[in-house]
Amino acid sequence: MTYLQWLKCASQTLTDSESPKRDAEILLSFVTQRTRTFLMAFSETLLTDDELIVLSECLKRRQNGEPIAYITGEKEFWSLKFNVSNATLIPRPDTEKLVELGLEYLPKVPCEVLDLGTGTGAIVIAMATERQDCLFTAIEKNKDALILAQQNAAQIGVNNVYFLQGDWYKPIKNRKFSMIVSNPPYIEPTDIHLSQGDVRYEPRSALVSEDDGLADIKLIVQGATKHLNQYGWLLIEHGWKQGEVVQTIFKQHGFQLVETFTDYSGNDRVTLGRWFKP
């Protein structure tokens, strides 16, 4: 079977996927270790028996709904390649908005930044590659996720990120930062989307939060008042229906210049505010 023949068959098989052709191309590229350009230019190339066996297994996993990123073990974010596992959320394009805003609001001078619940390390590593003059601290409760984030930092080659294991602010004691960023759990436990699509395979601990999905956001906002420098910024990613209520939480804790920004699909995604203590 040639590359072209397999791609056609696989695309027809992945009927439940939102992007069957793209999924098939990613799997074929992953198994053959060939670029997409090569696959298209040499589409008549014959697959080996071993490649067909591996491709068949990958296709079955994708048919069952397993995310492509978990099958290949990697995901691109901010034009960087991150290793992923089922111990972490899969980095999503919309989260790049948080990175974009973080870089925009960072002071122009060297400073310290905290990332809470770092997961794969995608947010903090992306920011660290852009601001090598800053010192970044990343906290993650899950040990396996923390190890993965450290591996990603080493693989990408950033040396200005320090990783700590623990629950939110506990590992940093009385330290203060010029900026705190976080993409915390924000889905309410009864949300029907938890049983649909890729999220079925992702760790619920990284997705679900009590109090209508707001419990962890409230903890982060409250704790930020003790760990931000005067005029420091807090940026939190949240659900597309949570912008207004998250703004209220920020304001209740004394944050100013509070604003919600939309993601690249036009949905409310990131709320930020500046800490000012009279």
Annotated binding site for substrate: 183-186
Write the single-letter amino acid at 114: L
Instruction: Give phi and psi for 267, each to the nearest 5.
Output: -100, 145
CA distance 34 to 29: 5
Cα first-last separation, the chain: 71
Q: Which is nearest to 89 in space by CA: 162, 198, 197, 220?
A: 198
What single string gives the DSSP state of each residue in 41-92? HTTTPBPPHHHHHHHHHHHHHHHTT--HHHHHTEEEETTEEEE--TTSPPP-
Q: Give the pair of three-digit tokens for residue 144.
A: 């396996």
Residues placed in the known binding site: 117-121, 140, 168, 183-186
Q: Which is nearest to 235 in space by CA: 250, 215, 213, 253?
A: 250
Contacts of 163 (CB under 8 A, 6+ apart): 118, 121, 137, 138, 139, 140, 146, 149, 150, 153
Residues placed in the known binding site for S-adenosyl-L-methionine: 117-121, 140, 168, 183
**249: region left, alpha or beta (phi > 0 left; psi from -120 to 50 alpha):** alpha
